[in-house]
Amino acid sequence: MNNQLTKGSITKSLLLFSLPMILGNLLQQFYNIADTFIVGQYLGSNALAAVGSSFTIMTFLTSIILGLCMGSGILFSMLFGAKQHDKMKTAFFVSFIGIAIMAIILQLLCLLFIHPILSFLNIPSDIYQQTYDYLFIIFWGFFFSFLYNYFSSVLRALGNSRIPLLFLAIATLINIVLDIFFIVQMHLGVSGAAIATIIAQAMSGTGIMLYVCLTQKELLPQKHHCYFDRDIFMKIRDYSLLTCIQQSVMNFGILMIQGLVNSFGVITMSAFAAAVKIDSFAYMPVQDFGNAFSTFIAQNKGAHLEDRIQKGLKSAIVISTIFCLMISCGVFVFAKELMMIFIHPQEVQIIQQGIQYLQIEGICYLGIGCLFLLYGYYRGVGKPGISVILTVISLGTRVLLAYLFAPTLGTLVIWWAIPIGWFLADITGILYGIKKEKWFQTQQIEKNKIMEGENI
């Protein structure tokens, strides 16, 4: 069911639309945690470090495609809000072909340059082969990741966040079952974990594509929609490219941090691999809420409901703040117990480093919550370039501080550099919003001047 986010209670609309997205990514993180648990418990710390490093590069690569899909989704939302369905279908055709080609090229490049990628990550020699084995298999499933993310973005742009959740839930369950089978029963090691992942990706990607093609035919472009429209292409380029840059810059910064962490050895790598999974699980809901907020903003932008946008911004701030405060308390207090889910109690050094990371990040989740709302707002109003600037500030600060001071002061600098980057980006985004966007000021709604396609 496709939902208009331009009507009804703002808080209720935001929560009902974002909840399936939050549950979906919580399921994804639950799988990541289950995967980490199975690998850590059955294959040991070296395998855990290998899979952890691979997860970082895969997150970066996926973020490129995800950014392109999300950028297209913003345009879909605006056209849907403006009820310009023919243009939306043409945008569907143009974006699908373009992003599919990008996904294929990226997959081939990864397979061809896998050794330089591992060298860039500073993978230690004792886990190099395991990391190679895992990534070589994972790269073959990259196109299926594109299929899932593209069709999920299309459905979510139109207000349907339940179907992507359903396919993700099925894929997560399949992935966990296959992990146990390939690792525990078949003794395939990290290769078994990779095979399980690409099988699950294939099922979720092809499954959601078939769902859209068979049951949502009114969304599909017909023959007269399948042509190259320069204006639509330019809009897709602007939204998708900048959102892609924002997503990939964010994850490239994380990738560089992973490379620095790897230089401290397997103990630090294992602690970081486990702690990052917990960290991602903790703040993932507010990240998805920011993405849902972006769709809300875009639909109302397309419908020219500026007053509803302002009210939605206030409501989103309250919801995000409450959640961040709750999760900060939980992660800080139970950091040790959370680390021991993945790490054997006798691995004291690994657990202690993980606790240190989690407690530092845990007290600062308000910073990341605010940043995700800023990302969502600026993407939704058609200014993804501001999101790129905020990401560069956040990640640039993190990488700069870490690389300058961590070699002499240790990993503590790496952990603290992350929230410092969040808050600097928050301050920049808020000041820009107050000055340029005139937040919290009454805006006169345009009347009798709305022409079809205006402001899109």
pLDDT at site 193:
86
Residues in the chain where the model's pLDDT stays below 50 = 1, 442-456
pLDDT at site 7:
80
* 3-state SS record for the chain: CCCCCCCCCHHHHHHHHHHHHHHHHHHHHHHHHHHHHHHHHHHCHHHHHHHHHHHHHHHHHHHHHHHHHHHHHHHHHHHHHCCCHHHHHHHHHHHHHHHHHHHHHHHHHHHHCHHHHHHHCCCCHHHHHHHHHHHHHHHCCHHHHHHHHHHHHHHHHCCCCHHHHHHHHHHHHHHHHHHHHHHHHCCCHHHHHHHHHHHHHHHHHHHHHHHHHHHCHHHCCCHHHCCCCHHHHHHHHHHHHHHHHHHHHHHHHHHHHHHHHHCCCHHHHHHHHHHHHHHHHHHHHHHHHHHHHHHHHHHHHHCCCHHHHHHHHHHHHHHHHHHHHHHHHHHHHCHHHHHCCCCCCCCHHHHHHHHHHHHHHHCCHHHHHHHHHHHHHHHHCCCHHHHHHHHHHHHHHHHHHHHHHHHHHCHHHHHHHHHHHHHHHHHHHHHHHHHHHCCCCCCCCCCCCCCCCCCC
pLDDT at site 207:
94
Q: Which domain holds residue 125?
A: 10-437
pLDDT at site 427:
95
CA nearest neighbour of 256 among 357, 393, 122: 122
Is residue 19 a part of any domain in this protein? yes
pLDDT at site 126:
82
pLDDT in tens, 254-313: 777 877 888 888 888 888 878 887 887 788 888 889 988 988 888 888 888 888 888 888
What number of other Cβ atoms are within 10 A of residue 213's Cβ? Answer: 12
Is residue 306 a part of any domain in this protein? yes
pLDDT at site 31:
67
Is residue 447 a part of any domain in this protein? no
Percent of the chain past pLDDT 90, that is, above it, reads 27
Is residue 111 a part of any domain in this protein? yes
pLDDT at site 80:
78
pLDDT at site 401:
92
Domain count, the chain: 1
Is residue 451 a part of any domain in this protein? no
Is residue 4 a part of any domain in this protein? no
Is residue 1 a part of any domain in this protein? no
